């Protein structure tokens, strides 16, 4: 079956531009996560949704980062006024059940380069 998909796969933005990154989770998955992976590092948690509710946004690095999942399916991560330090791979993951340690399935990521 289809896995988690993300678009675009690559994005180059000039410093100061706004970007929007899309995640399509596995159909029926309740939980959705966003992670940021800088070069040479492991993924770092940004935010978590259970259906349409954003239950944890403790990892968002600044108020320039905003995520939504209005209908409990597709999610968008928006970064306003991009900075060079925002350059990273942004990974989306989904899992089937909320509140239980079920496997998180990752998408291929969006590689963001801010010039």
Note whether 41 binds another protein by CB under 8 A.
Answer: yes
Cα angle for residues 96, 70, 16 (degrees, 5° grid) = 110
How is residue 59 written in tokens?
């990892």
- From 20-28, 41-49, 64-72, 74-82, span contacting another protein (CB under 8 A): 41-49
Contact pick of 5, 7, 50, 73 for another protein (by CB under 8 A): 50
Query: Which of 14, 34, 32 shows the shortest CA–CA distance to 89?
Result: 34
Strand, coil or helix: 39 = coil
Q: Which residue number, 14 or 42, has a Cβ lying nearer to another protein?
A: 42
Q: Which residue number, 27 or 58, has a Cβ lying nearer to another protein?
A: 58
Note whether 91 binds another protein by CB under 8 A.
Answer: yes
Query: Which of 23, 39, 2, 37 shows the shortest CA–CA distance to 92?
Result: 23
Note whether 106 binds another protein by CB under 8 A.
Answer: yes
């Amino acid at each position: 079956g289809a896995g988690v998909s993300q678009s675009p796969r690559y994005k180059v933005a000039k410093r100061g531009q706004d970007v929007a990154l899309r995640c399509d989770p596995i159909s029926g998955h309740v939980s959705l996560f966003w992670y940021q992976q800088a070069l040479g590092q492991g993924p770092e948690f940004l935010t978590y949704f259970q259906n349409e509710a954003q239950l944890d946004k403790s990892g968002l690095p600044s108020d320039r980062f905003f995520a939504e999942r209005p209908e409990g399916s597709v999610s968008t991560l928006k970064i306003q006024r991009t900075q060079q330090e925002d350059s990273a791979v942004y990974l989306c993951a989904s899992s089937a059940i909320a509140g239980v340690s079920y496997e998180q399935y990752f998408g291929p990521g969006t590689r963001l380069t801010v010039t």
